[in-house]
Structures are given as C-alpha cells and as structure tokens.
Amino acid sequence: MSALTGAKPLFRVAIGQDRRNIAPWVMLISVLSATSIIAYRWIFTDLSDRQALSLTLAANPALELVFGPARDLLTNDGFNAWRAGMLGCFFAALMAILTVVRNSRADEDSGQAELIASGIITRQARLAVAVGMAMVAGVALGVVSFLLTWAFGGGITSTLLISAMFTSSAWMFAAVAALCVQLGSDARAANSLAIGTLGFTYVLRGWFDSSEAPGWTEWLTPFGWLSRTRAAVDNDPLPLLAALGFTVVLLAVAMRLQARRDFGMGLVSSRPGPATAPRLGVWSLAWRLNRGSALTWLLSFAFLGMVFGNIAPTASRLITENPAIRVIMASGARTQAELTFGFVATIQQVIGIIAAVAGAQVAMRFREEEVDFRAEPLLAAPLRRAKHLAATVLVALGISGVGMVTAGLVMAVVASRGSDQLAFGDVWLQAVCTTVAVWLLVSVSLMLVAAKPVVRFGGWIVIVATFGITLLGPTFKFPEWALDISPLHHVPVVVAPDRAWGELGWLGLVTVGLLAIAFVGYRRRDVI
C-alpha cells in the first residue's frame, strides 16, 4: 500500500460533487479578466482618454493599494493586469482555501471523513485529494481565463502570464490551507487561519506598493512574487518559480503533519469548555457564538487602521510630487488638503466594505444555527422570534460599527501624527459617518437571512457590487444614478465645504426600513 492508496477513486467522486461550488469561482475570475479588455476598448477609445486615466490612477495611492501598481494603462493588456491581476489572484486564493478546507477538515467535523477512512484509503490520500481538487480548479481557472480573455482581444503573452498568476495564487494558498487544516481545531478555525494569512499578505503587499518601500520588499509576500512578473510590461515568468517552490515546501510539511495528527483534532487544540453549563440569556448567547470572530475582526481593524494611517502621510507626499496633481492645483480646482483627505476617505470606504463583510458573516451564522437545528429548541421555549433576531441584529451591527470606528480611531491617531494636513477629529469623524453606510449593507444581509433565506447570498452580491461601483465607478465614468446605488457614495466628506449631512439621515431611514422588513419576514416565515 502506497501513501496515496485510494486517492484516485476518491478524487473522481469528490470532484464530481464539488464542481458546482468551484465553477462559479472560475467563471467569476475569468469574466473579471475578460471584461477588463472589453471595458477598456469601450470606454477609453482614444489616446487622450487613456493618458487621462493613467494620470488619474497614478495620483490615487488608495487604488494602488487595492488593485496593485498601475504600470501601463495605455494598452488593453496593461489595464487588464492592473484591474484583474492582484484582485483575481486574491479571489483565486480564496477559492483554493475554501475548496481544501471543505473537502478535508469539514468532512472530519461532519463525520463523512470517518466513513471514507473506514475503506481502503490512507490518511495522506484524503488531504492529497482535497489539495488536488484545488490545484485542478486553479488550472481550470488559468485555462478558462486565458481562452476567454484572449477571445475578447487580450494579447497572447500577457494574457497567458496573468492566467498563470491566477493558477499560481490558487496553488500557493491551497498549500497554505493544507497546513492550516493541520493546525486548526476544526474547519472554522482552519478557515480563519488560512483566510487571515491571505488577508495579511494582501494588505502587506499593498502597504509596500503604496509606501515607497524598496524593491526588495516585493520578495517578502507571495503576492509580491506574482507582482514581480510585471505582466503586460516585462512579462517575466521567472518569479512564478518562487510560488512553485513555496507550494512544494508547504505541501511537504502539511503531508508530514497529516500523518501524525490525531483524527478530528488540530495541533492547536481548542480550550475545554466549563465544567458546568453557564446560565445564558438570548443576548449573551448571540455574543458567545460570535465573540471569537468578533475579537479577531477588531484586532484586524486596528491593524488596518495602523497600516493605512502610516500610508496616509506618504500618500500626501506622492500627491504633492505628482505632475498630474500639480496641474490640477495650478488650475485651482481643489486644495491639496482636500486631495489628501480624499485618499483617507477612499481608504475608509475600503475598510467599510470589509466591516460590512464582518456584519454579513454574523447574519449568515444566524442561518447556520437554524439549519443545524439549534434555533428550533430555543424557539420552543417562551422566546419570541423578534427577541431572537434582535440579539443577532445587535451583534452584527455592533461588530461592523465598532470595527469601523476602531479602524478610524487608530488611523486618525497615526495619520495626524505623520501629517499636518490631517486632523485627528476629521479622520475619525469620517469613519463614524462611513459607519452609517456600512450598517445599511449589513442590514441587507440581515433582511435576506431573516425574511427570505433562500436568496441570502444576495447579501454578498450587494457587498461585491458596492465594492465595484464605489472604487471603479468614477474611473469608468459611471453616470451619477449608477454611482448613487452605492450607499458609500452618499457619505459626505467631512472637510468639504458642501457637506450633505442630510444624506446620512436617508441612509439611516433605509437601514431602519430594511430591518423592519427583516423582523416582519422572520415572524411570518417557517423556521428551517
């Protein structure tokens, strides 16, 4: 019997069952790349438009932090490398992490892996199948992305390299997930470790790109290796060898740990519960269910505030030294302080979208408790549905709101010390105002989960759409009515002379309306 005995038949069955979960990721990322080619040709038709785009994006470090450096915006492929390159790699990595954890550790938690292990199959084979599925998904993503983007006009060499970046990212983080599966005490902990690593390395890469860090810092993160290929400019595939080496080393370690780890346990064990059952009310129960992720999120928001607060003074210098900004300043269109604060406001919109993800996660957990038949015993007691839902609403709004305010507070402290153009009160007040829009996004998820859970994933779609409209809408010259769809577009810039405070009131009213629909819908529908 070899180390991979039983892997082949298990792989055929597992890939057949999981292909519906993988296919949307492959299509989403491929379409992201292909639409970059289409949109660029459609919107930026002549050279002057493309030069204006290049100057505008070069003057916005916030977009560079999210999408990576814009090296060549005068060609289709250069624009595709900027818009879909790093973002596509991020989503490819997320796809790989979820695939590995779902098909390895989650099966152990549910008991399915125990049935499989009772057959003729080795322990290493189960992990190898999960990793193999993620790698096959990465290859499928690379192939589909290349064919689709090339069919819509992408250059062969550049498109091939961008697609290879997607595949490399999926492979690297499949290996990261395989290692985290050995460390975490359950699937939720493994997912948190792997996704936390993904988020940390992505933000670190953005920090280096936006803070005038020396070139060697690109070698410090996996996303930096992918960025060093300089797709559509130098088209250098050699840095992908570092990604391949990283994958091989992590997989070797994960396989070794898999052979020694106790079944159903992680190397980092969870704390034992109390000897006696605590007396919990519905309010404290909702908090205890989410307190682990809440504390993780709050630490993450404090970290984001510190990172972005450090970048803000650097961004101020970049804006001052940028020739495009000097032209704007010469025309008297805006002040330098307003432009610097515009960077802060954009960054806080990005943090706001992350805060909305934290709140939506709590809403989705409410549905998981229901599907796992843990809500039904609670409602069998003298507990009203409205009170049951209100506890989750309070936690969801609390985590997202406190997280947003915490990030703004840390950012205000760090940024105001590094730049005399950024006042502590203005930066923090901007974060507080952004919280109102974040609550509206979270309320959409709460409404769908409570009133119509079958379409609850619409909450994620709304958040992703808000991300695209908010950050890319102005660049793609969206009409005003389209920009108005994003609640973040209605958050006033607190240092602007024409602050529209009334729009915050409307955002608050819409949020109250969505929550009212949530309570009415949850009271009327069947549980489960």
Task: List, for residues 438-451, the tens digit of each pLDDT value.
Answer: 999 999 999 999 99
Sign of the Cα torsion 91, 95, 101, 102 reads positive
pLDDT for the residue numbered 497: 77
SS3 at position 209: helix
Q: What would the mean pLDDT of 227-242 be, rounded to a whole number? A: 92
Any residues with CB less than 8 A from the CB of 380 and at least 6 apart, and which?
none
Instruction: Please determine, for residue 330, whether its predicted confidence score (pLDDT) is greater than 50.
Output: no
Cβ–Cβ under 8 Å, residues 19 and 102: no
Match 């098909």 to its residue by tokens: 103
CA atoms within 13 A on the CB side of 451: 17
505: tokens are: 């009131």
| Exposure string for 82-107, b = 16+ CB within 10 A, e = fewer | bbbbbbbbbbbbbbbbbbbbbbbbbb
Q: What is the 3-state secondary structure (H, E, C) of 369-397?
A: HHHCCCHHHHHHCCCCHHHHHHHHHHHHH
Longest CA–CA span in the chain (Å) reads 77
- pLDDT one-digit tens code per residue, 184-216: 888 888 888 898 899 889 988 888 887 777 888
pTM value is 0.81
Torsion angle defined by CA atoms of residues 482, 484, 487 and 489, in that order, rounded to the nearest 10 degrees: 100
**Cα 389 to Cα 44: distance, rounded to the nearest angstrom:** 48
pLDDT for the residue numbered 1: 67
pLDDT for the residue numbered 401: 94
Average pLDDT over the chain reads: 86
Instruction: Please determine, for residue 326, whether its predicted confidence score (pLDDT) is greater than 80.
Output: no
pLDDT for the residue numbered 333: 47
Cβ–Cβ under 8 Å, residues 95 and 139: no
Cβ–Cβ under 8 Å, residues 438 and 401: yes
- Of residues 137 and 4, more confidence is placed in 137
Instruction: Please determine, for residue 23, whether its predicted confidence score (pLDDT) is greater than 60.
Output: yes
77-81, 157-161, 309-313, 489-493: which range is least confident on average?
A: 309-313
Q: How confident is the model at residue 281 (pLDDT cuts 50, 70, 90)?
A: confident
Residues in the chain: 528
Closest by CA position to 163, among listed 88, 73, 262, 51: 88
SS3 at position 31: helix
Phi, psi (degrees; rounded to nearest 5) at 278: -75, 155
Instruction: Please determine, for residue 182, whether its predicted confidence score (pLDDT) is greater than 80.
Output: yes
pLDDT for the residue numbered 332: 46
pLDDT for the residue numbered 20: 86
pLDDT for the residue numbered 331: 44
Residue ranges in 322-384 assigned as alpha helix (H): 323-331, 336-371, 375-380
Single-letter amino acid, residue 112: Q
**Cα 411 to Cα 432: distance, rounded to the nearest angstrom:** 12
Our measurement of the distance from residue 414's CA atom to the centroid of its chain's CA atoms, rounded to an integer in Å, reads 24
Cβ–Cβ under 8 Å, residues 288 and 203: no
DSSP assignment, residue 233? T
155: tokens are: 């250059």
Instruction: Please determine, for residue 165, whether its predicted confidence score (pLDDT) is greater than 80.
Output: yes
- pLDDT one-digit tens code per residue, 29-74: 998 899 888 878 877 777 777 777 776 666 566 677 778 888 888 8
Angle at CA 473, nearest 5°, toward 439 and 74? Answer: 145
pLDDT for the residue numbered 329: 44
Cβ–Cβ under 8 Å, residues 63 and 57: yes
Single-letter amino acid, residue 167: T
pLDDT for the residue numbered 321: 57
Task: Express as a percent the part of the chain with pLDDT over 90.
Answer: 39
**Cα 220 to Cα 226: distance, rounded to the nearest angstrom:** 11
Cβ–Cβ under 8 Å, residues 47 and 206: no
Span between the terminal Cα atoms of the chain, in Å: 45
**Cα 77 to Cα 32: distance, rounded to the nearest angstrom:** 13
Sign of the Cα torsion 212, 215, 217, 221 reads positive
Q: How confident is the model at residue 82 (pLDDT cuts 50, 70, 90)?
A: confident
Phi, psi (degrees; rounded to nearest 5) at 47: -65, -35
88: tokens are: 């596509």
Cβ–Cβ under 8 Å, residues 30 and 145: yes
pLDDT for the residue numbered 59: 59
Count other Cβ atoms within 10 Å, centred on residue 134: 30
- pLDDT one-digit tens code per residue, 245-269: 999 999 999 999 988 888 878 887 7
pLDDT for the residue numbered 334: 59
- Of residues 491 and 309, more confidence is placed in 491
Task: Express as a percent the part of the chain with pLDDT over 70.
Answer: 93
pLDDT for the residue numbered 292: 80
pLDDT for the residue numbered 328: 47
